[in-house]
Structure 1
Amino acid sequence: MEGNLTKGPILKTLTKLAIPIMASSFLGTLYNITDMAWIGLLGSKAVAGVGVGGMFTWFSQGLAAMARMGGQVQVAQCIGRGEKEKAHGFAQAAVQLAAFMGMAYALLSLVFTKQMVGFFQLADAEAHAAAISYTKIACGLIVFSFMTLTLTGLYTAQGDSKTPFLANLIGLVTNMILDPVLILGPGPFPKLGVAGAAIATVTAQAIVMSIMILAIIVRKKENVLKGIQLFAGIPREYLGGICRIGIPTAVQGMAYCAISMVLTRMVSGYGAEAVATQRVGGQIESISWNTADGFAAALNAFIAQNYGAGKMDRVKKGYRASLWTVGIWGILITLAFVCFPRPIAEIFFHEPKAITTAVGYLIIIGFSEAFMCVELTTVGALSGLGRTKLCSIISITFTSARIPLAIILGGLMGLSGIWWALSATSIVKGIIFTCTFFWITRKRG
């Protein structure tokens, strides 16, 4: 039977679901940090190249969110209403959509690699070559990432977060073994550098996807993913339902990434160290946002099931418990970034100029961490209610404000002004999203 999230103690139910997801998110962070730590040994130019290539894998995650969020919310709400057949239909449609979109994105990335990387106007030839190499491999085989994200969402919708966690754990171990071997080429192994990092990541994603598929086949336990036919036609009802919920989330994710690309282009004017700092800083920062995103995924499934079952009281209590949890975590991250920026920066950078740039980034961004955690969690909660369009409007409006704000503050304060534009908008979004959730749920009684 599917995991029923509409009964039992709220905090216990939510925490039981959230902990494996948060642990999976930590593993995702470790994936990226492991890559960055090893690539850091090749120098800041290699890190800058991977930073640019990583932008396109990040952009793809926004697109993948259409199938993942649409499938997760619809499946969870169907389970809450007791409509098992419809839940299976939505699950099949989500998997088919993820496979198709993953292959389409890979094809476009391979055809237009030069134009995509060219957007960032990397002046350094070494950084440019690294970006081309990383983008071709990581985006050319992005379908594994699309499938992994969607399957994780569909497992979560049923209240099963342990299977994705175990799959991600095995993937992480694989990645950690392959990284030094493929990047640095010890002994008889060839030194592949940046290409090695991309191969290690893609291989790990393929393994994670395979384990999750194998778990569906091997287990006798009931699962909405059982009996899925990848090449069957997608009924309009299911495709429409997924797109209605998923498209606003996808637009939001892609817009967020596109805005970050524009900001990265602005940052590139300050040199390879600045680009590398933004890339690595984002990975360090993902300690907080991956955790919040993990809790948001659990809260999304919890709220969607309870909303489908008409239990608004559990919806409100679940949100409040989550708000306290991620808020406290965000405050701890703020203290770490503001009080100990240099030791953190020195893990990833070895050149004095790059370390100084990273320290400035961590202190400024640190002030917004708790607000960002609250924002991500609230987006998960509102999406569980089916309000993805509203989330998209709020997020895109205030994230877009980063560009003019970065131009103004950058003119006054230089590189620090761009970092402050990121931090200030995160603070504002955290406050607005929280107020919006309380306003909507008060209306619904």
Structure 2
Amino acid sequence: MSHAGGGRRPAPFVTGSIMRHVVVMTLTGAVGLMALFMVDLVDLFFLSLLDNTEVTAAIGYAGTIVFSNLSVSIGCGIAAAALVARNVGAGDQARAKEFATSALLFSLITSATITLAIDLGSGALLSLLGAAGEAKRLAQLFIWTLSPGYVLIAGAICCSFILRGLGDARRAMYITLSTALVTACADPVFIFGLGWGIQGAAAATVLGYVVSFGIGLHGVVRVHRYINPFRLSGLRRDFPPLWAIAFPAILTQLAQPFANAYITYEIAPFGDQSVAGFAIVGRLVPVAFGIIFSLAGSVGPIIGQNYGAKRHDRVRRTLTDGLIFAGLYTLATSFLLFLFRHQIAEAFNAAGRSRDLVVFFCTFIGISWAFAGGQFVANAAFNNLGRAALSSWFNWGKATLGTIPFAIIGARLGGPEGLLAGTAAGSVIFGIASVITAYNIVRRSETGAAR
């Protein structure tokens, strides 16, 4: 349905069951986000059929760098969703449309800049992570081939978040779901049919990004008519409020790639098999816990619309229901990972240390994602209640204080498995602290509104 006309656009999240909104937004958001991460898992699965540890390790090294662009794009999208949702909730459709336009332009420009930096610095970055020899050469080839798609997926993600801010969860899901479907179909053709190997996986992903961006533009521009003509003057006008959310949100999203990079650095001395095992875990996590990852972007618009409508009681309820949902989902998923831990390792041809690391993660570490889920929900509250900087502080605190000392101690005491256990402990601590802080902020907003 098109909303081309003026007037007041309905704010769907200010009425009805909060838990229903949380479940619908999170599940549809998770399908889209999991599809985005499924691209990496599909690439890794087909490349693992080549039965070459150096190829799998190369994907681990390259993925750590490539994920930084994805993180920045998600950070820009969070700003788009927050500003669109807030203005829709307040009944200002024209201003919401202006923010949607500026956010998309900002996302494209930012991604283009990062793409250039990644291409120029990939060799040095890979060396810093500990990549060497054939694994480094293959990782750099993957990065260079994939680079044309960085800007496309940034635009697609921003369109997806704009649609979330409008409450159109279904079309937001289609955008990233299309990426996984196209990549899954093209991967075997490019990798095996054309014999392109790791370069074929990257080319298939770029094709998926092209389709995804096209679907995103159709939903935002043609269906909702929610993008004005691009103008730098509009971006300059909207930059201060956009940057106020986008900058800390980007910093927040970059914390995870930093933590992954550090863990890769710590694992590298244990050999390519250990790096390959961590690469499998790194791609398994976003798919298995994609619903947890999607909480910040999915719960955010619900909080934003209710905050804009001054429904502070529903803001608190959204926070609580988001935490309940995260806990129940993590329990169920952790049980399934434990149940199929050996089959998962076999599906990726994991052997030796690779297999040990995958089985250990599925057995002991999965449950810690309940606390990561709590932090994602808290981040949604921070981003939509005018305290976006707290997201950065907590995420970077977790990526540094909650990762580095725990990783060092864990690696010394228990090797790669001890490293994973140590970083999980850090995640638990920061998850609890962020949730307590989020409730305090909600309480203050309620108290301030009552005066």
- TM class by shorter-chain length? over 0.9
State the one-letter code of the partner of 2:264: T
Q: 2:57 aligned with 1:53, yes or no?
A: no
- Is the alpha carbon distance of 1:287 and 1:77 closer, same or farther for their aligned partners in structure 2, counting shifts above 3 Å? same
Q: CA deviation at 1:73?
A: 0.8
Q: 2:75 aligned with 1:74, yes or no?
A: no
Q: 2:105 aligned with 1:96, yes or no?
A: yes
Aligned mates of 1:113, 1:433 — CA distance in 2: 34
1:206 to 186, 205, 210: 210
1:12 to 11, 17, 20: 20
Q: CA deviation at 1:338?
A: 3.7
Q: 2:131 aligned with 1:122, yes or no?
A: yes
- Single out whichever of 328-337 and 11-20 deviates more from structure 2: 11-20
1:380 matched residue in structure 2 = 380
Q: Secondary structure at the match of 2:147?
A: helix
State the one-letter code of the partner of 1:121: G
- The answer to whether the 8 A contact 1:338-1:367 is kept is no
| 1:255-334 correspondence runs (5 A) | 255-334=255-334
Aligned mates of 1:144, 1:319 — CA distance in 2: 32
Aligned mates of 1:3, 1:35 — CA distance in 2: 41
1:400 matched residue in structure 2 = 400
- The answer to whether the 8 A contact 2:273-2:352 is kept is no
Aligned mates of 1:17, 1:193 — CA distance in 2: 37
Q: 2:201 aligned with 1:197, yes or no?
A: yes
- Is the alpha carbon distance of 1:217 and 1:78 closer, same or farther for their aligned partners in structure 2, counting shifts above 3 Å? closer
1:169 to 177, 196, 214: 177
1:40 to 41, 48, 60: 48
**Deviations 1:49-105 (CA, angstroms, capped at 9, x unpaired):** 011111122111232244212221111111111112211121111111111111111
State the one-letter code of the partner of 1:273: Q
Q: CA deviation at 1:389?
A: 0.5
2:370 matched residue in structure 1 = 370
1:30 matched residue in structure 2 = 38
Aligned mates of 1:207, 1:319 — CA distance in 2: 34
1:64 matched residue in structure 2 = 73
- The answer to whether the 8 A contact 1:3-1:158 is kept is no
- The answer to whether the 8 A contact 2:78-2:297 is kept is no
Aligned mates of 1:13, 1:248 — CA distance in 2: 26
State the one-letter code of the partner of 1:351: A
Paired residue total: 436
**Deviations 1:133-152 (CA, angstroms, capped at 9, x unpaired):** 11112234310111111111
1:160 matched residue in structure 2 = 168
- The answer to whether the 8 A contact 1:334-1:370 is kept is no
Aligned mates of 1:307, 1:216 — CA distance in 2: 24
- Is the alpha carbon distance of 1:158 and 1:413 closer, same or farther for their aligned partners in structure 2, counting shifts above 3 Å? same
- Single out whichever of 99-108 and 281-290 deviates more from structure 2: 281-290
Aligned mates of 2:359, 2:24 — CA distance in 1: 36
Q: CA deviation at 1:372?
A: 1.7
Unaligned runs of 5+ in 2: 4-8, 447-451
Q: CA deviation at 1:414?
A: 1.9
Q: Secondary structure at the match of 2:16?
A: coil
Aligned mates of 2:245, 2:220 — CA distance in 1: 25
**Deviations 1:376-407 (CA, angstroms, capped at 9, x unpaired):** 22222332223211121122113202112211
State the one-letter code of the partner of 1:244: A
Q: CA deviation at 1:336?
A: 2.7
Aligned mates of 1:216, 1:265 — CA distance in 2: 41
TM-score by length of 1: 0.92
Percentage identity across paired residues of the two chains:
21
2:219 to 215, 220, 223: 215
Aligned mates of 2:356, 2:316 — CA distance in 1: 44
- The answer to whether the 8 A contact 1:367-1:423 is kept is no
**Deviations 1:103-142 (CA, angstroms, capped at 9, x unpaired):** 111222222222222222223x221121011111223431
Aligned mates of 1:406, 1:211 — CA distance in 2: 41
